[in-house]
Chains A and B, each alone.
Chain A
Amino acid sequence: MEISRRALLTRGSLGAAGAIGVMAIPNVALARGDAAEPELSEAERKVLAQPFVVHLRDVATGELELLVGEQSIVFTDKKLVAKVLRAAR
């Protein structure tokens, strides 16, 4: 399932209601920094105003866990993981 950053943030904002719980979201386009990526809306910024932690759970599989509100969202993005690891070198 390909989803956009906007869609992910929308899902994140629903987390306060506990509606999603843990879910797998493959191939997330989160924070790719694409030139075409639109600016964040005010609603999206509000979501980001709360603590927002991304936990790299498994380098081999590219599994990441997004912690926002009281929600845990697990997804896989090997490209993003590679980018993060290169940034950490």
Chain B
Amino acid sequence: MADNTDTYAFRTPGDTVTIIANYLPAQSPAGGPNFYEFGDDVLYELHVDNNGDGKPDVTYRFQFETAVTNTETFLYNTGPIGSLDSPDWNRQQRYRVTRVDRRSPGTGETVLATGVRCPPCNIGPRSTPDYPDLASAAVRTLPDGSKLFAGQRADPFFVDLGSIFDLGTLRPFQSLHLIPTANADGVDTLAGANVHTIAIQVPVSHLTRNGTVPTDVMGPESVLGIWGAASRRKATILDDRGGRRGSAAGPWVQVSRLGNPLFNEVIVPMAQKDRWNAVGPDRDAEFARYVAQPELAKLLPVLYPDVFPNLAGLTADRADLLAILLTGIPAGIVPGFQNYTGPTQADMLRLNVAIPPSGSPNRLGLIGGDAAGFPNGRRLGDDVVTVELRAVAGATYPLVAPGYTADGAAALIEDGTWDPPSRILLGAFPYVGTPYSGYEVPAA
């Protein structure tokens, strides 16, 4: 419940920013009879750093409460769920949203909304017959125009996990691997899987350090650092008087966080993941050496003999990856662009909000010539796996070391699962698509 799988942040119309954090990954849509939900015992947070110190300046906190309406049934629903307050929906979840602005006096806490209803999971045509309308009703618009949503969605992330984690099998080089196989198309591991989404759309001015809507791309005030997190109470006592409710004590302890995609998964060593997840991005200098000398970059020339000869000879610290992942890209690297937050090394999505949304997004974002995409924030359709694999393979190193020639193979790497027609995205908030129904998609 507390596993933060992906975080997205992008500019949206009306001078707004949309931040999406997904939790509870790889849900089989037919996951009954209890189905999936947010944890009442988890504190979910979306953090924004607007002064480059890797610490949150603005935080949106989500806390959930679940109610069982009929204590005499094992069913998730006892009839079609036609509305969010349907008495036939037996496991209803609501949430409270608090905004914490650390620039404000006192605690800086403002309760934005309470009792906001989540939609149910998408069970099937009998139980949730008009799911899109049901989910639309779960979008809460606040008086200032900000929007909130929390509930099940189709997982927008696409990746061939089965291939990458089978000893780094990359397209189109399977046949050149040390243990070769025939070349084959990518298989999206998450196709047909659902996830739980927390999404907010807020005015840019609510997030920036000076409360304005920046227009100068090169201005430091234009860049936000953004990440998601989840925390649990330090102690939980299980008792025999009715389970866990009311038995937590102590401060919240962070157990998961996510800024840049794959940082936790592919950069941080397994033995250090718990620590990395427990600390904030301001502590990421501890982990910078794994970015400067990424394990995967050392493996590629071994796994693919003669395919990455220049990468094999690249022993210097990877200033390109340190910039992309830990400080942002300073001015002077990519003409007319920067998302530099200063010298503090911190894994955060870095979004330059002075760059408007693109009318024709390129899946490769900045390296595809589209400055509105990853690593300038992250959009739902950005092919971040391909971008990061190419970067690790050396494709971005010439940006900081013009004397280095990237291997031709680096620019050819593909995750192979980017396929827009198969992704269910919406044209409006919360943008993440309608979840797959359990009746129609019985197995993820």
Measuring CB to CB, which residues of chain A are less than 8 angstroms from any residue of chain B?
Answer: 18, 50-53, 55, 67-72
Give the distance to chain B from A67, nearest Cβ to Cβ, in Å. 3
Give the distance to chain A from B239, nearest Cβ to Cβ, in Å. 10
Q: Which residue of A lies closest to B252 (CB)?
A: A70
Chain B residues 207 to 254 lying within 8 A of chain A, measured CB to CB, are 233-235, 237, 246-252
Residues of B contacting A51 in the complex (Cβ-Cβ under 8 angstroms): 235, 237, 246-249
Q: Which residue of A lies closest to B234 (CB)?
A: A67
With a 10 A CB-CB cut-off, give which of A52, A53, A68 has the most chain B CB atoms: A53
Give the distance to chain A from B135, nearest Cβ to Cβ, in Å. 33
Give the distance to chain A from B230, nearest Cβ to Cβ, in Å. 16
Per the bound structure, the CA–CA distance linking A68 and B235 in Å amounts to 10
Give the distance to chain B from A9, nearest Cβ to Cβ, in Å. 14
Per the bound structure, the CA–CA distance linking A50 and B246 in Å amounts to 8
Tell me the interface secondary structure of chain B in the complex: strand
B107 touches A67 (CB 8 A): no
B107 touches A72 (CB 8 A): no
Q: Which residue of A lies closest to B247 (CB)?
A: A51
Give the distance to chain B from A55, nearest Cβ to Cβ, in Å. 7
Per the bound structure, the CA–CA distance linking A40 and B405 in Å amounts to 75
Number of B residues, CB within 8 Å of A = 12
B247 touches A72 (CB 8 A): no
Residues of A contacting B249 in the complex (Cβ-Cβ under 8 angstroms): 50-53, 67-69
Task: Name the one of A18, A50, A72 contacting B234, with C-beta atoms under 8 angstroms.
Answer: A72
Per the bound structure, the CA–CA distance linking A53 and B246 in Å amounts to 13
A53 touches B251 (CB 8 A): no
Residues of A contacting B251 in the complex (Cβ-Cβ under 8 angstroms): 67, 70-72
With a 10 A CB-CB cut-off, give which of B234, B237, B248, B250 has the most chain A CB atoms: B250
How many A-B Cβ pairs are below 8 Å?
32
Measuring CB to CB, which residues of chain B are less than 8 angstroms from any residue of chain A?
Answer: 107, 233-235, 237, 246-252
Task: Name the one of B107, B233, B235, B247 contacting A55, with C-beta atoms under 8 angstroms.
Answer: B235
Ordered by A's residue number, 22 sampled pairs between the chains whose C-beta atoms are within 8 Å are A18-B107, A50-B246, A50-B249, A51-B237, A51-B246, A51-B247, A51-B249, A52-B249, A53-B235, A53-B237, A53-B249, A53-B250, A67-B235, A67-B250, A68-B249, A68-B250, A70-B250, A70-B251, A70-B252, A71-B250, A71-B251, A72-B234
Q: Which 5 A-B pairs have the closest CB atoms?
A: A67-B250, A51-B249, A67-B249, A53-B235, A53-B249
Per the bound structure, the CA–CA distance linking A60 and B415 in Å amounts to 53
Residues of A contacting B248 in the complex (Cβ-Cβ under 8 angstroms): 51
Residues of B contacting A53 in the complex (Cβ-Cβ under 8 angstroms): 235, 237, 249-250
Give the distance to chain A from B67, nearest Cβ to Cβ, in Å. 21
Per the bound structure, the CA–CA distance linking A71 and B235 in Å amounts to 11
Q: A67-B249, A71-B251 are in contact. List 7 more A-B contacts (CB 8 A).
A: A50-B249, A67-B234, A67-B235, A67-B250, A69-B249, A70-B251, A72-B234
Give the distance to chain A from B45, nearest Cβ to Cβ, in Å. 14
Q: Which residue of B lies closest to A49 (CB)?
A: B246
Residues of A contacting B250 in the complex (Cβ-Cβ under 8 angstroms): 53, 67-68, 70-72
Per the bound structure, the CA–CA distance linking A51 and B249 in Å amounts to 6
Per the bound structure, the CA–CA distance linking A69 and B246 in Å amounts to 10
Per the bound structure, the CA–CA distance linking A72 and B234 in Å amounts to 9
Per the bound structure, the CA–CA distance linking A69 and B251 in Å amounts to 7
Q: Which residue of A lies closest to B109 (CB)?
A: A18
Per the bound structure, the CA–CA distance linking A59 and B244 in Å amounts to 28
Q: Which residue of B lies closest to A19 (CB)?
A: B107
Residues of B contacting A55 in the complex (Cβ-Cβ under 8 angstroms): 235
Residues of A contacting B234 in the complex (Cβ-Cβ under 8 angstroms): 67, 72
Residues of B contacting A72 in the complex (Cβ-Cβ under 8 angstroms): 234, 250-251
Per the bound structure, the CA–CA distance linking A51 and B107 in Å amounts to 24
Residues of A contacting B235 in the complex (Cβ-Cβ under 8 angstroms): 51, 53, 55, 67
Residues of B contacting A52 in the complex (Cβ-Cβ under 8 angstroms): 249
Give the distance to chain A from B82, nearest Cβ to Cβ, in Å. 39
Give the distance to chain A from B386, nearest Cβ to Cβ, in Å. 42
Per the bound structure, the CA–CA distance linking A67 and B251 in Å amounts to 8
Residues of B contacting A18 in the complex (Cβ-Cβ under 8 angstroms): 107
Residues of B contacting A71 in the complex (Cβ-Cβ under 8 angstroms): 250-251
With a 10 A CB-CB cut-off, give which of B235, B246, B247 has the most chain A CB atoms: B235
Residues of A contacting B252 in the complex (Cβ-Cβ under 8 angstroms): 70
Per the bound structure, the CA–CA distance linking A52 and B235 in Å amounts to 9
Give the distance to chain A from B302, nearest Cβ to Cβ, in Å. 44
Give the distance to chain A from B101, nearest Cβ to Cβ, in Å. 16
